[in-house]
């Protein structure tokens, strides 16, 4: 073997029994010329995912697995991979073949040219209209709110140099959002585009509620602007209220049709009550994050591994 570096591959899997063999075989054709290790992270699957990984391990000892005690989520599975990978460069990709392994040689090539981070962006996602729209809205919002720029369509399919992985391991955040953390780290980065194919087998493991959580984590871990919004809204309402007071005084002094105002009273009470609830909700969201973060619980619990 002429290449004397190690490539680590990380593949998070959650109930992906029918994709394991396929992703392994397809990966192999692109990485067999390198020294490699493949980490399958079984994120608490309840089907035969782990058994299928173990079967592959029988014929290829470079295939390793980490199996969680329950479902801890995609980002935490990636963290487990980054924590354990020993390669000189580390590549993560999905298990459903939506991230084309054929891009890997080019990623490694760019890494050898000196780029510390090779990230990817999907050109067109073959997923449904609904996901496309929600993802567009999400990236609009997060880029308006946060300090780091996160590309629309940025994917968790990337190559990181060993040095970057070291830095990443130092960050001890409970609410991980790698698409934001990676640009935040700096280093020399380059982005490739790819065409996402449809899922090889099975259904998406990102339910709508998981997506909402992911989006809210992404926004609240990268920005405190939503907290500041309350100040603007507060000022606006105070100003409107002030105008209304002037009007009320005018009515009371210069006309004789005062004391009608049940409607206006109830409207303003409800309106301000509503705004307050929204703002308390935003503050509560951040406070809740601090609370959880402060417990310093681990991001994942390993039930079984072979490395």
Report yes or no: 218 and 138 within 8 Å, Cβ to Cβ: yes
Q: What single string gives the DSSP state of each residue in 212-252?
A: HHHHHHHHHHH--HHHHHHHHHHHHHHHHHHHHHHHHHHHH
Which one of 88-96, 102-110, 165-173, 252-260 is the stretch in contact with ligand UDP (CB under 6 A)? 88-96
Residues 196-215 that bind ligand UDP (CB under 6 A): 204-206
Counting beta carbons within 10 angstroms of the beta carbon of residue 234, is it exposed (0 to 12), middle (13 to 18) or buried (19 or more)?
Answer: middle
Rounded CA-CA distance 264/235 in Å is 20
**Binding of ligand UDP at residue 73 (CB under 6 A)?**
yes
Adjacent-strand bridge partners of 62: none
| Binding of residue 96 to Mg ion (CB under 5 A) | yes
How big is the chain by its Cα radius of gyration, in Å? 25
Select from Mg ion, ligand UDP, none the partner in contact with residue 17, using the beta carbon and a kind-dependent cut-off of 5 to 8 Å: none
> Is 74 one of the binding residues for ligand UDP (CB under 6 A)?
yes
161 binds, among ligand UDP, Mg ion, none (CB under 5 to 8 A by kind): none
Is-contact 97 23, C-beta < 8 A?
yes
**Shortest Å, Cβ 76 to ligand UDP:** 8
Q: Does 103 bind ligand UDP (CB under 6 A)?
A: no
Give the CA distances from residue 120 to residues 80, 100, 189, 196, in Å, rounded to whole numbers and listed in that order. 21, 11, 10, 11
Binding-site string for ligand UDP from residue 157 to residue 196, where x marks contact by CB under 6 A and - marks none: ----------------------------------------
Closer residue to ligand UDP in complex, CB, 57/134: 134
Largest CA distance in the chain: 97
Note whether 179 and 139 are within 8 A (CB).
Answer: no
Cα–Cα distance for residue pair 186/95, rounded to 1 Å: 27
Question: Which span sits near Mg ion by CB under 5 A: 30-38, 49-57, 59-67, 87-95?
Answer: 87-95
Binding mask 116-145 for ligand UDP (x = CB under 6 A): ------------------------------
Tell me, by CB under 6 A, how many residues bind ligand UDP: 16
Based on CB atoms, which residue is closest to ligand UDP, 27 or 115? 27
Our CB check for ligand UDP shows the closer of 184 and 200 to be: 200
């Amino acid at each position: 073997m002429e290449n004397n570096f190690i490539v680590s591959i990380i593949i998070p899997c959650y109930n992906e029994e029918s994709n394991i063999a396929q992703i392994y075989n397809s990966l192999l054709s692109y990485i067999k010329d390198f020294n490699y290790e493949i980490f399958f992270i079984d994120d608490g699957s309840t089907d035969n995912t782990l058994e299928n990984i173990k079967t592959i391990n029988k014929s290829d000892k470079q295939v390793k697995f980490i199996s969680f005690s329950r479902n801890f989520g995609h980002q935490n599975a990636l963290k487990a991979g980054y924590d354990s990978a020993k390669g000189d460069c580390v590549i993560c990709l999905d298990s459903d073949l939506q991230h084309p392994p054929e891009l890997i040689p080019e990623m490694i090539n760019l890494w050898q040219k000196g780029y510390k981070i090779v990230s990817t962006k999907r050109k067109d996602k073959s997923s449904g209209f609904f996901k496309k729209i929600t993802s567009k809205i999400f990236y609009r919002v997060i880029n308006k709110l946060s300090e780091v720029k996160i590309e629309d369509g940025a994917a968790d399919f990337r190559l990181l140099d060993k040095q970057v992985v070291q830095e990443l391991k130092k960050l001890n955040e409970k609410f991980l959002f790698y698409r934001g953390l990676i640009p935040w780290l700096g280093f020399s980065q380059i982005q490739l585009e790819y065409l996402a194919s449809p899922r090889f087998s099975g259904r998406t493991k990102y339910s709508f509620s998981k997506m909402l959580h992911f989006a809210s984590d992404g926004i609240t871990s990268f920005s405190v602007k939503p907290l500041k919004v309350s100040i603007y809204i507060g000022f606006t309402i105070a100003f409107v209220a002030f105008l209304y007071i002037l009007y009320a005084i005018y009515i009371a002094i210069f006309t004789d049709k005062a004391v009608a105002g049940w409607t206006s009273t109830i409207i303003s009470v409800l309106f301000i009550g509503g705004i307050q609830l929204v703002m308390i909700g935003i503050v509560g969201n951040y406070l809740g994050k601090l609370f959880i973060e402060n417990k310093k619980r681990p991001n994942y619990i390993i039930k079984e591994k072979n490395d």
